[in-house]
Structures are given as C-alpha cells and as structure tokens.
Chains A and B, each alone.
Chain A
Amino acid sequence: QSVLTQPPSVSAAPGQKVTISCSGSSSNIGINYVSWYQQLPGTAPKLLIYDNDKRPSGIPDRFSASKSASSATLAITGLQAGDEADYYCGTWDSSLTVVVFGGGTKLTVL
C-alpha cells in the first residue's frame, strides 16, 4: 500500500491528452515538492517533472504538472506511442521522514 495513491492505469488515443493523479496528505504533498518519473519498459526511471511543475532540459512541453493542496496531476498532451510507460509521482513525507512514491500508473496509448 503506497503512501501516495495513483490510478493503476490510464489510456488514450494518439494525439489525445491524458492526466494522471497522485493523491497524498498534509504531511507529504501538502507541504513538499512533487516530482514525476517516467519508466519505459526495461529501463531505469527518468525525471520528468520536479518542484511540482518544472521540466528538466530535454523534456518536451507536452509534459506538464500541477499541485493543489494534497494532490498533484501530471498531464501529457499530443500522446505518442513512445509515451507508453509507467509513471510515478514522488515526494518527501515530513512525518515519516522518508521519500515516498506512488504505486505507479501504466499509460497505454491505444
């Protein structure tokens, strides 16, 4: 059971938009930055978003994210087949004093 809750799967057609939610609490998302990671099949995770809504260099602006209260959302527009991957949210939990990840969301591009 993960501290952060994500839907197990989402799907959408190429070119469409999809959103992935990440629900936490006042001790984690509520007071700390959220980051998002993409894990393509058979590879290590890769940073997509940090500090709630910032993209590292090289990440296309099709990927965006936001945070509100104790929840965060990753949005991917203009879906491509290459976006099929597992997506994880992460943050620090100030009560548990640990890094916490969501359970991951598998994105399928139909």
Chain B
Amino acid sequence: QVQLVESGGGVVQPGESLRLSCAASGFTFSSYGMHWVRQAPGKGLEWLTFIRYDESKEYYADSVKGRFTISRDNSRNTVYLQMNSLRTEDSAVYYCAKEGKHFDPYIDYWGQGTLVTVSS
C-alpha cells in the first residue's frame, strides 16, 4: 500500500530555514511526480510545488517561488522541501502528495502532514 511519511516540521523563527522530508513506499517512486501542498489552520488547501518523476521540471506557486525548493532522491524514495526565509504566514500543515499519472493534475495519495510553525 502507498505510504507517504513527512518529517522535519517544527517551530522556527521568521527568517529561518527548515527542510521537510517525505519518505515514500508502496509504489515505484521514480515513476511518479510529487507535490507539496499546505494548509494553514482553519484554511483551505494551498498547492506549493511539483517535481516531475525524472526531475526534468519543477513548478512553484508564486507565494513560495524563490524561497522554497523541491527536490527528490530517487535512490532514497524521498522528496524534500527546502524552505528558506520563512514568514509567519508560512505556518501550516505541510502535505507531500503523489501524482496520479503523468500530465494529469490529480493527486491520488497524501501523507499525514507535518506541522510547521513560524513564530517569534
């Protein structure tokens, strides 16, 4: 069964950095693109970024472009989200998620999420 397990969340101060990890299992990781999506407390889903299965292309939401970087290690079945220059408005639960199929925007599996709190 597909499992996505995020880690790396925590409490940081504004301006600091954090790296989230997502360990994948139960599917051929190197064959699927991966997303990061976040959800601020009491708010809706906000898509952040996507990386293709072969790392050939990345996409970012304007809200994180230039501050966040997605990457993956297909040998470790892991996708990462490097978050720099964090702001209070970045506080949210961060989900990693698996694409359903290539060139189709749906997400078929989500992790349980990891909480990031940015506060002074």
Chain B: which residue is nearest A50 at the CB level?
A: B106
Which B residues touch A37, using CB under 8 A? 45, 107
Which A residues touch B100, using CB under 8 A? 35, 47, 50
A90 near B106 (CB under 8 angstroms)? yes
Q: Which residues of B contact A (CB under 8 A)?
A: 35, 37, 44-47, 50, 59-62, 95, 100, 104-113
Closest approach, in angstroms, between the C-beta of A94 and any C-beta of chain B?
Answer: 10
* 13 more CB-based (< 8 A) A-B contacts, given A35-B100, A50-B100: A35-B105, A37-B45, A44-B95, A44-B113, A88-B45, A90-B45, A90-B105, A90-B106, A92-B105, A98-B47, A98-B59, A99-B47, A100-B47
Q: Is A21 an interface residue (CB 8 A)?
A: no
Report the bound CA distance from A32 to B68 in whole Å: 26
Most buried by A among B35, B37, B100, B105: B105
Report the bound CA distance from A39 to B105 in whole Å: 18
Closest approach, in angstroms, between the C-beta of B3 and any C-beta of chain A?
Answer: 12
Which A residues touch B108, using CB under 8 A? 47, 50, 56
Closest approach, in angstroms, between the C-beta of A62 and any C-beta of chain B?
Answer: 20
Closest approach, in angstroms, between the C-beta of B17 and any C-beta of chain A?
Answer: 23
